Structures are given as structure tokens and as C-alpha cells.
Structure 1
Amino acid sequence: MGDVLQAFWRYERALMANDLVELDALFAPGPDTLRGDAAGILVGHDAISDFRRGRGGAPLREILHVEVREVSDDAALVIAVTAPRTGGRGQQTQLWRRIDGDWKVTAAHVSLPVPAIDSRIWRAAGAPLVPPSGEGPLAGESVAVKDLFAVGGYAVGAGNPVWLAEASVESANATAVQQLLDHGASVAGIAQTDEFAYSIAGQNSHYGTPPSPAVVGGLPGGSTSGPASAVALGQASIGLGTDTGGSIRVPASYQGLWGLRTTHGAVSAEGLLPLAPTFDTVGWLTRNAASLKGAAGASLREHAAAGDFVVAPDLLEHATPDVRAAFTAAVGEHERIDIGDASELLYIFRSVQAAEAWATHGAWVSAHPGALGPDVAGRFAAAALVTAEQESSARLRLAEARARLDEVLGDRVLLLPSASSIAPSAVTDAATVEATRQGTMRLTSVAGITGRPALSVPLLSVPQSGALLPAPVGLCLVGPRHSEIALIALGEQLLESSSRS
């Protein structure tokens, strides 16, 4: 078995050097190779290779001990005890087989010490960070607060370390935070966000990409990325976030969560760092409907009914074929409506959003060249080019579009996918990520333009290449203004009906 050990040490050296070519060569080719860790199982050589490319190198470590057990003449089990440079102990278990004279890994499982605080998810955390300020129906619930809301005693970081370094410590909690505390919830911590909430991917070039337990190596969705991952991983039960162009609905869709964007203005924005105030809304992500109803009940004061379901077939053309198929199979037949040109709606939304984003943060961005990651920097650069005439025209068209959509929708509930696709891989090229973003925002901009609430229900799923489990996709319900509680009840009915069929 000495040659197996030689292959193992080749693998270890390649791992520490992030030699992707050598690592690919040492893993067995084909669709049956396995790799698993706490995040899930990857199936197939190509899926494992993509994962390695996306993570940017494995954590540095030392090998403390290696055990080899012969399974057959051409198979051996290798178990290694590892010591990560960050402390603790881990293990790596590999099944090696001799293939065409060379030893290859056919299955591997990695176990690492769990960090007390994953800085990709949390900027600050405690046990709790802020205790409840009252007793109420949210007792026992813990909140991951998006790093745009004021938390007394801490500065707002907005996903950017330069901004954080210059920010003042907040003297009081944002209203949306205080309402949850007053109803018995605690604040588990302040969770990461995409920079200034100007993204729906979930990537942050400064703090890293929060992990998703739903799609191994997939983007978590943003900009409420940290709270979404914290909730999906069980580190908090409620994620307090914002949704301007889909920033609650998209991470909810990607990670199989309930996600609610509230009626524009229904929850106070006091103590919230804005991006585009015409569209900025407060909302929550949870793993179940009960927690979502509790969070909504703590903050909402108006309640309206919701009518029948309708669908807009033209909107579905902006989703991938597998998402369209899952949506159609799940919702069945409902009255069809025409909401107009989705590309025109997106243009209106993006023009006003960009103008407001530059008005809000443009002076700071100009004074801090190089402080932003490339994707968000590109959006601010484009926002700077929106002229006053373009903004004025877009605002007139926004009012017209809102009136027309209100007339078409009335008190009915529009059904559509929450996102245009499953979570893209972290190694997806920038052009494809942007194309996915464009498709998704054609779906999400309807709620933004109308100011209506939108609920993402974890009801759809789509098979994913290189994984054993399907990837989640949210079913979105866009309802009349102030119909949040009614939408949650409808979502529960749809989920129950789906589970029976």
C-alpha cells in the first residue's frame, strides 16, 4: 500500500498549493466520483472540479496522522487526521482505487472544525448580541440583522470595510429591529450584505461569499445574503433584511426559505441605510411560515385581503426552461393577464433605482476610488451616467406603469417564479451571472414598481447537475398592498396542497 500513500501525499501537496490540474488528475474521472462535507455531497468529477475552482483554495493545514486500510488489491481506504492552521482538529476520509495502473480518489469526505463565527455570514455575533427588550410571541426567536440596520452600540457596515471604518456607532436600534426585540426576539448578530445592497447575487469581494446549504458551491443570493445563509444554516430563525429589486426574494428562492417583501412603506425605514428609497422595503426570511407570521405581526399594522390567482405567461419567458416547467406543474391553470413589456418595466425600475443610488451614495463612492468590489463599482459607474432628463422621464413612466399594473392586477395575486433560475455556481462567469440577474429582475421588478408585497414560498425544485438533491426555487405571490398576512396563509395552502399531490 506504499504507492497509495505516495498518491495521498501528492494529493496533499497539490491541495495546499491549490494545484487544480493535479487535483483533477488525482480524482477519478466520470459521473460517479463523490465528494462530501458539511455543506452537502457533490456527484461527478466535473462538479467537484467546479467546486474547487470556486472556493479559491482549501484552508491551510498539517497532516498529523494517516491510516491506510486495504480493501482489495486495487482499493484502499485512507483516513487522515488534520490540524487546520486556524486551530482544532479535522479528518479526511478517501476511498482510493487503482484505475489503469494509477491510484485515484473515487470518494472523499472532509470534516473541519466549525468556526465560532463565520465571517462570510456574520460581521458581529453574540449569544445573543442583543437580548429581548420585552416578552411576546417571538420569545425564543433569534434574528440575523442585515448590516444596513442600526443596532445600538454598533456601526452600520453596509458590506464595505472602508465605510465601516468611517461609520459612527449607532445610539439606538432601527425601528424594524426594535419591533422584533419588543415582541420577545433576540438579535443573534449583524449579518453580511452585498455592498450597499446593490446586488442580488450574494457575493462580497471583501468578506467572501456566504455559503448556501441548498446548493453546494452555489451563490446564496443577495443582497440579504448573510441573513439568508444564517437562517438556512440554522444559526438564526429570522433574517431581517431589505428588498429593493429582489434582495429578500432571490436568496429565499436560492436557499429554500420563506421570504417576504412588505408593502412599500408598511414597515418604518427609520435607522435603515437606504439605497433607492422609492423601492427600498423591509422584510424577513424564515425557515417556516410560523416564524414569518410572527415577524410580520410584530411590525405590520394594516391588513388587507387577497383575491384570486393570476399568471402572466410573458413573464415566464424570462425564466429558464426547467424553472418554467416546475412552475407550470406546480400552479396549474389560472386566469392569464398581460402586464406589458417586462423589459420596459425593468428599464424604468433600473433607471430610477440607479439615479437614487447615485444620489444616496455617489459622493462617498467618488471620494473613495477603489473601495468597492468590481461588480458593485460597475453599477455605481453606470448609475453616475443617468441624467436628470432620463430620471425625470423614467419617473413619469414609473407612475404610468404603476397605474396600469394596479388596474390589471386589482386585488388579485400574481403567481410567478421568485427567480429566473436556481442558484448559479460561484464559478459561473460574470457575463452569465449578469444575464441571470437581468432575467430575475424582470420578474422581481413588478413588485418594486407597484410597491406591492411579494412572498417567496419554498415550493418548487429543479434537478441540478452534479448533486444528489434538487435545487430549490421559490414560488412568488405578489398581492394587493398590505396583504402580507393573507399571502402567507395562501402560501401555506399551496405548500400543503403540493405535499398532498
Structure 2
Amino acid sequence: MPAGLLSAFEDYEAALAANDLGALAGFFVPGPHTLRGDAAGLLVGSDAIAGFRAGRPGVVRRSIRSLHVRAIGTDHALIVSENEPFAGGAGLVTQLWSRTAAGWRIETAQVAASAPAIDRSIWRVAGTPLVAGEVGGTLAGVRVAVKDLFDVAGFAVGAGNPAYLESATPATASAPSLTALLRAGASVIGIAQTDEFAYSIAGANVHSGTPPNPRVPGGLPGGSSSGPAAAVALGQADLALATDTAGSIRVPASYQGLWGLRTSHGAVSRDGVLPLAPSFDTVGWLARGPEVLRTAAAASLDTDRQLPVPARFAVCAQTVFAADEGVQAAFVDAVDRLERSGHLSAVEIISLDPLADLFETFRTVQAAEAWRAHGDWVDAHPGTLGPDVRSRFAFASLIDEDEAAGHRIDLAEARERLDAALDGRILLLPSASSTAPARTASGAKIEAIRTATLSLTCLAAIGGYPAVSLPGLSVAGAPLGLSLLGPRHSDLALLDHAAGLAQGLAAGLAPDVGTGTAGIVGNTVETLRA
């Protein structure tokens, strides 16, 4: 036994039990090369590890069942410990310790805990299956995670809030949008968590916790379809049935490297779906690949209303430069490579209304409708909402009918100008203004990211357009989505165009651009730079 190692291990376990964040940070070797991994992913660097610890409530109480030490030379040792949580089960921790001037410190840790039967941050209720689909069909064998806004026969809607769930009554029939999937052979694996009343794009919920983001350990999953998206990203479901009012499908798709489709406004029935802002609410889906997504769309949309859309593309400089520098670089690099490979041609640069004006119009109408839908309940249940959602409803409560009416006029005029500017083209833009922010990011930073992202995602909401987020871009190792926004009722054609672009990106193996400036040489990108 290397001298001092056992006492260092015991001190570390004591700090864990006390959730002493300062002491725990001191037990890891400082610097960018320290590692900590668990089922949620790998944290790289002591700062990331400390941030992760600060964002969790602590660890379950446990005792050590056995301890195995293997010395590696004089200054390194491997410790494998078996632990017994007081609540039952077993865990396994593997650590590489090194002797430093400050004493024994951890260089690498791998944590394996007892798997929970249900991760409550992802699932409100789950089954095997919860609701079986019809035999056969195009979606046979597909497991669906249903966002906790949809009626599922026999279950109440919880809307991400325990007080709301407590007073809700079970649905007597499933929402038509869910029934379409069941008839196609899909089965419901569970009802998945949502941000409260879907009034968020962060993916955090003070009641059920924040679902993991398997592509960005320690990062937010994106919301409000946070639970369904995490279920699909983790492989616990194949398809998510979700809603998108202002980006609630496209943002988690971007943050977690998924495919997501927001359908044309009104193209899929919203009956049996708890509203947020009916002028913008849409039904859509998330999946790990385009095939399942398109099959679900074809089973749910009225194909007679679906329109072809030619491969005419547009880019707006405002939507590019509204994002952070890393996203800008990744986006323009992708457009450049797709042009040079022949997957994009004749891309036109267009101008739109100032994004800040469009966002303000959208935000005001959305808030007025959210208050109309839920204001009475919010007033009757003070103290039941998390601080971020509470602040949005507080803002919504201040909007009077005259102000809302004025913004509705602005909204209709903005929609006409959007139609004219796009002129049947497909708009390419980043799916979000940044990659997934850290769970420990400040409230001010999260709000700034939210505003910037909504200035991009609200375009589809204002126009009632379908929008696809496809994975394939990367910034400093984190996934980023590329969005296609097309004419109304071009959902299926838009998915086909997105699949073609995804193949082009895969063939070129999109580089990780980090946070620097991409090498830009294509015609469209040169115009943007100018």
C-alpha cells in the first residue's frame, strides 16, 4: 500500500458524503487532462468536473464494501472500490491516483452506479410498452416517447408541473397525433418530461430535474422537449412525439445531435395537446436518423396537402451573425463545402426584417396567448413554478389586449414580408445560436442564449413554416444542427432535401471548427463575409 494513499481515499469519501465541493475539487489533479466518466458521458478537465459537482445535489449515502489497490510504480496507483448505497443496489468506482506535491490526487475516475429503473428526469411514467400499437405497419417495432403535453388514454397530462398533474384528470382517448403513430404500428414506451408548460428551450425542470445530454456531458439537453429528446439520444426510445412553439424540437435536436421536424402550422392536429400559444404551436418528432422521422411524418401528415419544393436555397446574413462565433464558423464552413461538392447550387443571399423586431413581435403575441391559456391557473397556484417560467408568465400577465392586438397586426405583416423574401426558397440557418450551454451557466448567460436562439427559431413560428434540424456540424466537440425552413406544407419534401444535405456533409466529414474562423472560399460565404 503506497504511503498516505488509503487516508487520502478515506478523506475523499468523507468529502463526498458531506458534499464538500471545495474539498472535492482539491482531490482532482488540476488542469485540462483530468477525466471523470459515468453513464451520462465523459467530463474532461478539472473545471468541467467541478462544474458538474456544483450542479448536483450530492451523492447517495453509501458504504464501501471492498477496496482493491494496484500500485503502478511509486507515484501512481489504481483503486477499484465496490460500494453499497444505503438505499440498496451496488456501485463500482475505478480511480487512477497520482502522488503530487500536495499529496495523493485523482487523475481519472470512472463511476458505475446502480441503474435506476426509471430516470425521473427523463420519464414521468414508462412501460414495456405503456401503450401497444397495432400489429404491423410502417412503424412496427418503433418505441415512442410522448412529451407530457399529449393526451394518452388512461393517463393525465402533467405539463412538467406536479401541482398541475395533481389536479388533472386522465384522458379518455389519445390525441389524434399519437393515434396516427399507434395505427402505424408504433408503441408508447413512456410519457417523458417537459419544461413547465413548454415555456422554455433550456431543458431544465426544478421539479423533475434536468435530463442528461449524452452528447455534451454537463450540458443542458435543450427544451421544452427535453425528456423525449434525451430518451431518443440515449436509445431508450426511437421516436419522440413532441411540440415546437418557438424551437422546442429544433433546439434539443441541435444540442443532442438528433434529427427534428417542426411541421407546418396546422398540418398535424393539435387536438388533445395542451396549448402554449396556439398561433405558433405545432406537433413534430425527433429521431436519431431521417428514415424513422420521415416514416412518422408520412404516417401523420395529409399527403394530399403536401407540396413539392424545388432545390432553391437562401441564406440570410442576419441569421448567421446572430449566432456566436463558433456557430458562425461551423455554419459557413458547411455551406461552403456543400456548394463546392455540388449539393448546393444557386444559393441566394436575402434580407429579412431586423431579427430583434421579429422576435419582439413573436414574444409578445406568444406571451399573451400563454397567459390566456394558463393565466388563471398560474394565479391560483402561486409558488408552484420554477423561477424562469414564473418570470415569463409574470411578463405575460402585463400585456393588455390593445398591445397584443397591435402586435398581431405586426405579426401578419411580418409574415407577408417573410413569404415575399423567401419566395418559395428553402432558408438555411443554424438551428441554435450556440451549442448546449453548461448546466452551471449563469441565469443571465442562459437568458442571453435563449434570446439569440429564439431570434432564429421564431422565423418558422411567425411564418407557420415547417423546419428540419439535421445533425452533422460540430463546434469544439459539441453537436450543432443545420436547419432548413421551407414553404408551408412542404414538410416531406423538406425532409428529403435535408437527407440529401446530410449525405453531402457526411461525405465531406464535417470538421470540428472549434471556435476559430473557418476556411471560407465558396461564393455564398464570400458574399456573407463582404
Fold similarity call, TM over 0.5: yes
Map of 2:419 onto structure 1: 406
**Residue 486 and residue 10 in structure 1: after superposition, are their counterparts in 2 closer, same or farther (change >3 A)?**
same
The CA deviation at 1:55 is 2.1
Q: Verify the 8 A CA contact 2:63 2:83 in the aligned structure 1.
A: yes
Which digits, 9 at most, give the CA deviation of each residue in 1:405-427, with x for residues without a partner?
Answer: 00111211000000000000000
Map of 1:313 onto structure 2: 317
The CA deviation at 1:168 is 0.5
Which digits, 9 at most, give the CA deviation of each residue in 1:361-419, with x for residues without a partner?
Answer: 00000000001111100100000001111101100000000001001112110000000
The CA deviation at 1:499 is 1.5
Q: What TM-score do the two structures reach when normalised by structure 2?
A: 0.92
Q: Verify the 8 A CA contact 2:136 2:185 in the aligned structure 1.
A: yes
Instruction: Report the 3-state secondary structure (helix = DSSP H, G, I; strand = E; otherwise coil) of the residue aligned with 2:77.
Output: strand
Q: Verify the 8 A CA contact 2:472 2:506 in the aligned structure 1.
A: no
Task: Supply the distance in 2 between the matched residues of 1:144 and 1:192 (Cα, whole angstroms).
Answer: 9
Asked whether 1:377 is paired with 2:428, we answer no
Map of 1:265 onto structure 2: 266
Task: Supply the distance in 2 between the matched residues of 1:175 and 1:133 (Cα, whole angstroms).
Answer: 15
Map of 1:211 onto structure 2: 212
Q: Verify the 8 A CA contact 1:68 1:78 in the aligned structure 2.
A: yes
Instruction: Report the 3-state secondary structure (helix = DSSP H, G, I; strand = E; otherwise coil) of the residue aligned with 2:210.
Output: coil
Which digits, 9 at most, give the CA deviation of each residue in 1:223-247, with x for residues without a partner?
Answer: 0000000000000000000000000
Task: Supply the distance in 1 between the matched residues of 2:62 and 2:193 (Cα, whole angstroms).
Answer: 27
The one-letter amino acid of 1:452's match is Y
Q: Residue 483 of structure 2 is aligned with which of 468, 476, 492?
A: 476
The CA deviation at 1:134 is 4.6
Which digits, 9 at most, give the CA deviation of each residue in 1:289-321, with x for residues without a partner?
Answer: 010011101110121122311000011121010
| Stretch of structure 1 that moved more, 393-402 or 68-77 | 68-77
Task: Supply the distance in 2 between the matched residues of 1:85 and 1:380 (Cα, whole angstroms).
Answer: 41
Task: Supply the distance in 2 between the matched residues of 1:459 and 1:86 (Cα, whole angstroms).
Answer: 42
Map of 2:343 onto structure 1: none
Instruction: Report the 3-state secondary structure (helix = DSSP H, G, I; strand = E; otherwise coil) of the residue aligned with 1:324.
Output: helix
Map of 2:335 onto structure 1: 331
Map of 2:449 onto structure 1: 436
User: Which stretches in structure 1 are left out of the alignment for 5+ residues?
Assistant: 464-469
Which digits, 9 at most, give the CA deviation of each residue in 1:139-167, with x for residues without a partner?
Answer: 01010000000000000000000000000
The one-letter amino acid of 2:282's match is T
Map of 1:496 onto structure 2: 503
Map of 2:465 onto structure 1: 452
Task: Supply the distance in 2 between the matched residues of 1:318 and 1:477 (Cα, whole angstroms).
Answer: 17
Asked whether 1:390 is paired with 2:403, we answer yes
Task: Supply the distance in 1 between the matched residues of 2:63 and 2:242 (Cα, whole angstroms).
Answer: 40
Asked whether 1:419 is paired with 2:432, we answer yes
Map of 2:84 onto structure 1: 83
Q: Verify the 8 A CA contact 1:134 1:181 in the aligned structure 2.
A: no
Count of matched residue pairs = 495
Map of 1:466 onto structure 2: none
Map of 2:381 onto structure 1: 368
Task: Supply the distance in 2 between the matched residues of 1:47 and 1:165 (Cα, whole angstroms).
Answer: 37
Task: Supply the distance in 2 between the matched residues of 1:369 and 1:249 (Cα, whole angstroms).
Answer: 31
The CA deviation at 1:135 is 2.7
Instruction: Report the 3-state secondary structure (helix = DSSP H, G, I; strand = E; otherwise coil) of the residue aligned with 2:144.
Output: strand
The one-letter amino acid of 2:472's match is L
Asked whether 1:56 is paired with 2:57, we answer yes
The CA deviation at 1:486 is 1.0
Instruction: Report the 3-state secondary structure (helix = DSSP H, G, I; strand = E; otherwise coil) of the residue aligned with 2:55.
Output: helix
Which digits, 9 at most, give the CA deviation of each residue in 1:324-374, with x for residues without a partner?
Answer: 000000012621000110000000100000000000000000000001111
**Residue 475 and residue 86 in structure 1: after superposition, are their counterparts in 2 closer, same or farther (change >3 A)?**
farther
The CA deviation at 1:85 is 3.3
State, as a whole percentage, how many aligned pairs show the same letter: 55
The one-letter amino acid of 2:360's match is Y
Task: Supply the distance in 1 between the matched residues of 2:406 and 2:54 (Cα, whole angstroms).
Answer: 44
Runs of 4+ in 1 over 6 A off after TM superposition: none
Instruction: Report the 3-state secondary structure (helix = DSSP H, G, I; strand = E; otherwise coil) of the residue aligned with 1:55.
Output: coil
Map of 2:512 onto structure 1: none
Instruction: Report the 3-state secondary structure (helix = DSSP H, G, I; strand = E; otherwise coil) of the residue aligned with 1:472.
Output: strand
Q: Verify the 8 A CA contact 2:48 2:218 in the aligned structure 1.
A: no
Map of 1:242 onto structure 2: 243
**Residue 101 and residue 354 in structure 1: after superposition, are their counterparts in 2 closer, same or farther (change >3 A)?**
closer
Q: Verify the 8 A CA contact 1:196 1:275 in the aligned structure 2.
A: yes
Task: Supply the distance in 2 between the matched residues of 1:454 and 1:59 (Cα, whole angstroms).
Answer: 42
Instruction: Report the 3-state secondary structure (helix = DSSP H, G, I; strand = E; otherwise coil) of the residue aligned with 1:448.
Output: helix
The one-letter amino acid of 2:446's match is V
Task: Supply the distance in 2 between the matched residues of 1:11 and 1:306 (Cα, whole angstroms).
Answer: 61
Q: Residue 306 of structure 2 is aligned with which of 303, 306, 317?
A: 303
The one-letter amino acid of 2:456's match is L
The CA deviation at 1:56 is 2.7
Task: Supply the distance in 2 between the matched residues of 1:55 and 1:438 (Cα, whole angstroms).
Answer: 26
The CA deviation at 1:17 is 1.2
Map of 2:523 onto structure 1: none
Q: What TM-score do the two structures reach when normalised by structure 1?
A: 0.98
The CA deviation at 1:2 is 4.7
Q: Verify the 8 A CA contact 1:319 1:420 in the aligned structure 2.
A: yes
Task: Supply the distance in 2 between the matched residues of 1:136 and 1:223 (Cα, whole angstroms).
Answer: 30
Task: Supply the distance in 2 between the matched residues of 1:274 and 1:86 (Cα, whole angstroms).
Answer: 39
Q: CA RMSD in A?
A: 1.0
Task: Supply the distance in 1 between the matched residues of 2:60 and 2:306 (Cα, whole angstroms).
Answer: 50
Task: Supply the distance in 2 between the matched residues of 1:38 and 1:208 (Cα, whole angstroms).
Answer: 17
Task: Supply the distance in 2 between the matched residues of 1:149 and 1:30 (Cα, whole angstroms).
Answer: 46
Instruction: Report the 3-state secondary structure (helix = DSSP H, G, I; strand = E; otherwise coil) of the residue aligned with 1:404.
Output: helix
Instruction: Report the 3-state secondary structure (helix = DSSP H, G, I; strand = E; otherwise coil) of the residue aligned with 1:127.
Output: strand
